Amino acid sequence: DPITASCTISPNCSHLDPESQILWKLGTELQPGKRQRLADGRQEFTITVAHLNSPRVLLSCCLRWGTSLQILDQAEVQAGYPPTAPHNLSCLMNLTTNSLICQWEPGPNNHLSTNFTLKSFKSRGNCQTQEDSIPDCVPNDGQNHCSIPRRHLQLYQNMGIWVQAENALGTSKSPQLCLVPMDVVKLEPPTLWALDPSPEVAPPQPGCLLLRWEPWRPSLYIEQKCELRHQPQPGEASWALVGPLLSQTLQYELCGLLPSTAYALQLRCTRWPLPGHWSDWSPSLTLTTAQQAPIVRLDTWWRQRQLDPRTADVQLFWKPTPLDKYSGQIQGYLVRAPDQAETVPPLCNTTELSCTFHLPLEAQEVVLVAYNTAGTSHPTPVVFLESRGPPLARLHTVARDPYSLWVGWEPPSPRPQGYVIEWGLGPPSPSGSNKSWKMEHNGSMSGTLLQENIRPFQLYEITVTPLYQDTVGPSQHIYAYSQEMAPSHAPELHLKHIGKTWAQLEWAPQAPELGKSPLTHYTVFWTNAQDQSFSTVLNASSHGLVLHGLEPASLYHVHLMATSRVGAANSTSLTLMTLALEESELHVLLGLFAFLLLFTCLCGAARFCCRPSRKNPLWPSVPDPAHSSLGSWVPTIMVEETFQLPSLRDPGMPPITKITVLEEEEKKPVPWESNDSSGSCGLPTLVQAYVLQGDPRAPSTQPQPPSITSDQVLYGKVLGSPTSPGPGHYLRCDSTQPLLGGLSPSPKFYENLWFQTSPLGTPEPLVPNQEDDCVFGPLLDFPLLQGLQVHGVEGLGGV
């Protein structure tokens, strides 16, 4: 609802300005208000709030004082709803507390403090008229129930009861409840027990339970009826309800239950035939139904051996297989002869799964039964059959994991009715000790998985026997590991004999170890002093090896590795040294080596000297000018005359029009270039650039060749400087002037030219082209041309 508030200021407040600003503050929000002057001079400020968003808020009247607000007064405003009528009012008469307890539901929250009061009165009619009032019952804060004590009650008289709710905004009442206190009585649960067998009470049948109970003592004078519920344990199934059970009997035989099964049972009671409320369920009582006789199939197997001509020792084994889910628990086993009376002691009475006894040699059958307190199972005949059936074929095993073995076979023909599989530790364990076994009833199967008593690194002996209609087949054996270990060590190597280039080794194969995988092969490794390694592989039956191709007087390290399917192991290393060569053998080898070396050198020298390309560097062919055609046209020079070389700066010098340079290796002195006083060796470097072969003024006695007009060619090489002798360059010069300044006709100089890249190089021929161009070798730059030396020109008819 909307609310209106006012704030009045007295005119005697001297600190207030007549036009002072008054503001309203609702919670934390400022709200505008209205100003009004009253007749007596007071100022009244009012505010109207349409609705509140909170059930509890502060409303303040504030004065703006400078930059702050001063609170003049404030009030707390609460908002809510009128109380709704309480509902679901119910009452129970509790004989333990001797009071009438009523409870209700208050309804939704109204945001205001609400008081509840339980009101009641006595009435002789249908609660239409009130006779005696009963004091109000006020519950504690937050509680929705209240108790009316016994002193205010009439147990068999009607009462009118209701609940009143009241808060600041109004009052409401619940619908009125009219009842008789004893009609709403709730008893305490009874106590439930098992009824023990006695001479007067027969023991329960299988699937039945005998129960008794005692009602709550204060309710002994009240006639009651009860209900029983039960649930098999563990409590996965739902409860099953049985009743009604009249309280006069106080005992009950519950049947139709599963045998040998634990059950949880509970009981509750109510006033009957008069109205009343059911008590709570009693605490659970757990009982187990009686068991029935064993309903099992007994698989049997035996071992038989003859002790003497009339007695046989029989070891009988069996395994029970329940045929019913609720088969009785087996307490023991009996072995009897087929027609033995029950008064005669049995051959065996045991709780184990095997038994050993003696029988006459002609006895062929015994009877085995399982028993408990409820009776015995159906007898299982055990017939000792002879082995006349066909055997199995291809018995084999496969290790699935370290704790299981798969054993397989090929079913024989005709097909067996089943198989007996036995397994236990193999040799060296005693035969038949702690063997496990099982029977397979499917004759067409070709294998089974063994998971019982299988451990890794153990050798197991597995036996499979086929079972036929009136006989058995011969047993087949196989040995297997579920997991094998690698060999722990390899055999020790021993040196038996040794030579200069061979060594004979041997080792002793080890006996098979229990739990170790058989060896598949050996590997022999040897290493020489240069860390070069060699190896060879041998089969597992080998016990020796001869190493060939060893070096004499050499050190070797040898070791042996033994390998199986699951790993390998190495032996200790053996160090050996081959024998050294004898002195006579060494001399023969050195002689052979020297002969081969000498023969190789001679062949190389002959090949080197006989090659044409190697002839000139070793024995250079120096041209003889006296017997060449050059002498027929070069004039002779008198001995006393001094030959004057033309100056290189002489304008009459034939001009050089093209120089082609080829680089050669650094020149080394050779015998045919020795320094003597003849020729041009004694001339200065610049003068040596132009030296003629022969006397230009000497008369020629040979016929003159025809005059040939052609470009002149100078063939020579560039020499290194005196301070920095280095590699020279071969070059070719073409000139339009006669080579010898017109002293004689100019012949064709370069019909056959040869060149070499160094003084010791191989001379190679050069064939000129059609343009008489005989440039050869790689074209290289040279920094300084200091002189030319004629090296060789082979012309027509001479040199």
**Per-chain mean pLDDT for the chain:** 77
CB-side neighbour CA atoms (13 Å) of 246:
4
pLDDT > 90? residue 33: no
Q: For residue 611, what pLDDT is reported?
A: 67
Is pLDDT at 781 greater than 90 in this prediction? no
- Opening angle at CA 580, ends 578 and 584, nearest 5: 150
Q: Class of the 191-288 domain?
A: mainly beta
- Alpha carbons 757 and 774: distance in angstroms, whole number: 15
How many Å apart are CA 617 and CA 623, to the nearest integer? Answer: 14
On whether the CB atoms of residues 668 and 756 are closer than 8 A, the answer is no
pLDDT (0 to 100) of residue 237: 81
399-405-411-415 Cα dihedral, nearest 10 degrees: -160
Residue range 699-707: mean pLDDT, rounded = 43
Does residue 694 carry a pLDDT above 50?
Answer: no
The whole-number average pLDDT for the span 694-709 is: 42
Q: What's the pLDDT band for 332 if we cut at 50, 70, 90?
A: very high
pLDDT, position 334:
93
pLDDT tier, 402 (very low <50, low <70, confident <90, very high otherwise)? confident
On the question of pLDDT at 728 being above 90, the answer is no
> What CATH number labels 87-186?
2.60.40.10
* Confidence bin at 487 (pLDDT 50/70/90): confident
Question: Lowest-pLDDT range, 251-255, 507-511, 623-627?
Answer: 623-627
State mean pLDDT over 711-737.
43
Q: In what order do the strands lie in the sheet with 22-26?
A: 29-31, 22-26, 56-65, 68-78
Tokens read off for 735: 């000139």
Most confident listed range (238-252, 536-550, 686-700)? 536-550
State the pLDDT confidence band at 324, using cuts at 50, 70 and 90: confident
With cut-offs at 50, 70 and 90, classify the pLDDT of residue 521: very high
Query: Which pLDDT band holds residue 572 (cuts at 50, 70, 90)?
Result: confident
Between 662 and 519, where is the model more confident?
A: 519
**From CA 521, how far away is CA 569, in angstroms rounded?**
11
Q: What mean pLDDT is predicted for residues 168-175?
A: 90
SS3 per residue for 512-529: CCCCECCEEEEEEEEECC
| Composition of the chain by helix, strand, coil, percent to 5 | 5, 40, 50
Instruction: Rank 206-220, 486-500, 601-615 by mean pLDDT and report only the highest.
Output: 486-500
Greater pLDDT, 638 or 114? 114
421-457: pLDDT as tens digits: 999 888 776 665 678 899 999 989 999 999 988 888 8
Confidence band of 525 (pLDDT split at 50, 70, 90): very high
Average pLDDT over residues 329-334: 90
pLDDT, residue 669, reads 45
Cα(564)–Cα(516) distance, integer angstroms: 9
The CATH code belonging to domain 296-383 is 2.60.40.10
Task: Write down the pLDDT at residue 289.
Answer: 86
Considering 15-19, 101-105, 337-341, 728-732, the range whose residues carry the highest mean pLDDT is: 101-105
Residues ≥6 apart with Cβ < 8 Å to 315:
302, 303, 304, 354, 355, 356
CA dihedral (579, 582, 585, 587) positive or negative: positive
Whole-angstrom distance, CA of residue 23 vs CA of residue 46:
10
Residue range 80-97: mean pLDDT, rounded: 89
Q: What is the mean pLDDT of residues 313-337?
A: 88
Position 124 scores a pLDDT of: 81
The confidence score (pLDDT) of residue 205 equals 77
CA nearest 65: which of 21, 9, 13?
21
By percentage, how much of the chain surpasses pLDDT 70?
74
C-alpha dist (Å) from residue 564 to 457, 479, 720: 14, 17, 80
Which residues lie below 8 Å from residue 323, measured CB to CB, with a gap of 6+?
Answer: 295, 296, 297
Q: State how far Cα 777 lies from the chain centre.
A: 73
Of the listed ranges 196-200, 390-394, 586-590, 756-760, the least confidently predicted one is: 756-760
Domain 493-578, classified CATH 3.40.50.1370, yes or no: no
Q: Output the CATH code of domain 3-79.
A: 2.60.40.10
Count the residues in the chain: 799
Long-range contact pairs involving 476-479 (C-beta distance under 8 Å, separation at least 24): 476/391, 476/392, 476/395, 476/409, 477/395, 478/395, 478/396, 478/397, 478/407, 479/426
Between CA 423 and CA 406 the distance in angstroms is: 12
Query: Which residues are registered as beta bridge partners of 267?
Result: 228
Pick the more confident residue, 746 or 355.
355
Greater confidence (636 vs 544) lies with 544
Domain with CATH 2.60.40.10 in the chain: 3-79, 87-186, 191-288, 296-383, 393-481, 493-578
Which is the CATH superfamily of the domain at 393-481? Immunoglobulins (2.60.40.10)
- DSSP string spanning 319-366? EEEESSTTPPPP-EEEEE-TT--TTSPPSEEESSSEEEEEEETT--EE
781 vs 479 pLDDT, higher one = 479
Average pLDDT over residues 53-57: 86
- For 257-313, how does the pLDDT look when each residue is reduced to its tens digit (9 = 90+)? 888 888 999 999 988 888 888 999 999 999 988 888 888 999 998 888 888 888 999
Evaluate whether 334 touches 344 at the Cβ level (below 8 Å): no
Residues 6+ apart with CB under 8 A from 635: 695, 696, 697, 698, 699, 700, 743, 744
Asked which of 258-272, 472-486, 513-527, 762-776 is least confident by mean pLDDT, the reply is: 762-776
- pLDDT of res. 711: 41
**The pLDDT of residue 420:** 93
pLDDT at 657: 46
Q: Which of 743, 753, 654 is nearest to 707 (CA)?
A: 743
Confidence of residue 619 (pLDDT cuts 50, 70, 90): low
Residue 626's pLDDT band (cuts 50, 70, 90): low
Of 441, 483, 501, 129, nearest to 301 by C-alpha is 441
Query: What's the distance, CA 206 to chain centroid?
Result: 56
